[in-house]
Amino acid sequence: MIRTIYIERQVAKHPRTREVLARLRDAQIIECDSYAEIFNPKNQNFRLQKKQPSLIIARKSEKRILRAPDSYGIGGQYNYYFSHMLNCIYDCRYCFLQGMYQSANYVLFINYEDFFESIDRTLETLPKKDVWFFSGYDCDSLALDPITGFSPHLLRFLDSRPRAFVELRTKSTQIRALLSAPTNPNVIVAFTLSPKETAINFERKAPTIMKRLQAMKQLSDRGWLLGLRFDPLIFDDTFERRYRNLFQEVFSMLPVSAIHSITLGAFRMPKRFFKNLVGLYPDESLFAGPFNNRKKTVSYSEPCEEQMIRFCIKELKAYISADRIFSCSVNMSQKLHKISPTSPIGSTQNA
């Protein structure tokens, strides 16, 4: 799958670098001074690189733990995110990463221990508080786990950090490491799910929805808590039928007791990223949707977004309690609460 590996010289002898190379014995190895010389140059052909991405092994030297946006959360008051990788092996047309990065290559930051040290420092700044850390913002948390071995290191670290809560966001079925490890109630394995038709049309290279649900069932059988991430919601004339069918399928396979949280978020993207994506895929039907410019973001109109989220909440309440449902839009969450004090949607800002 990976034919070329670039390695920063400073991590060339790192034990985990050697472990990765042992798993990819046939790849060509090229050393470099900094991953930025490969990853950041302008005028790279993203679409061409996406056909055969290279792996870049590097060290993350700063800004390893960042404060999450206000709309990012599942009930916790203190929310941060981290990315031990950049880019994703899947090719989802709605993914903002393709509009943000010049390069389709994968970057793996091999210095996991420094990420963990940064988590510890963050916990120290918030004594006696529970803190949430989200993985999967700039990558898929598990898709390359058999190569990176990241999740086993993370789980061992979390065993002695009861105040650290982690979400692993994924579309992947690479769950072997989780199935072989003791469950941790502070870890939520969150799967992005779309209606079958949406997944077929726009989630290229990703496992089918059924395969994701089967992986989730295996995890729930072992006692892992799950997250359902219906994000982004994609609108068309069949929206209600597609999402009603999806919810029925999900809850016919998964026990409600295993569901930690559900998030809902309509398609949204910074204007610059959206423009870049349209330039990459000018004939993509998705980008001809009924989008509006809302400040610095391209999304559906506010009434359309409200209609979508209200419908999903109503359908989901037939299966699960409202306090486990969260909106990824701060404005929408606040509006729904304002309209009805007993609004079924949870706030993403505070516990």
Per residue in 61-112, pLDDT (tens digit) is 999 999 998 878 899 999 999 999 999 999 999 999 999 999 999 999 999 9
Percent of the chain with pLDDT over 70: 93
* 103 occurs within a structural domain: yes
- Whether the pLDDT of residue 345 is over 50: the answer is no
| CATH code for position 100 | 3.80.30.30
* 192 occurs within a structural domain: yes
* 328 occurs within a structural domain: yes
* 89 occurs within a structural domain: yes
> What integer pLDDT is reported at residue 122 of this predicted model?
98
* 200 occurs within a structural domain: yes
* 35 occurs within a structural domain: no
Contact 171, 215 (CB under 8 A): no
Question: Residue 106's beta-bridge partner residues?
Answer: 55
209: containing domain: 59-339
Q: What is the pLDDT of residues 111-145, one digit of tens each?
A: 999 999 999 999 999 999 999 999 988 999 999 99
Residue 129 φ then ψ, to 5°: -105, 145
Contact 35, 58 (CB under 8 A): yes
50: Cα separation from own chain's centroid:
19
Q: Is 163 helix (H, G, I), strand (E, B) or coil?
A: coil
Q: What is the pLDDT of residues 165-174, one digit of tens each?
A: 999 999 999 9
How many domains in the chain?
1
Q: With bands split at pLDDT 50, 70 and 90, how would you rate the model's confidence at 264?
A: very high
Q: What is the pLDDT of residues 37-63, one digit of tens each?
A: 999 998 898 989 999 999 999 999 999
- Whether the pLDDT of residue 335 is over 90: the answer is no
* 31 occurs within a structural domain: no
Q: Is 287 helix (H, G, I), strand (E, B) or coil?
A: helix
Contact 26, 63 (CB under 8 A): no
Question: Which of 144, 180, 148, 150 is CA-nearest to residue 166?
Answer: 150
Percent of the chain with pLDDT over 90: 88
Measure the CA–CA gap between 336 and 346, rounded to whole angstroms.
10
* 14 occurs within a structural domain: no
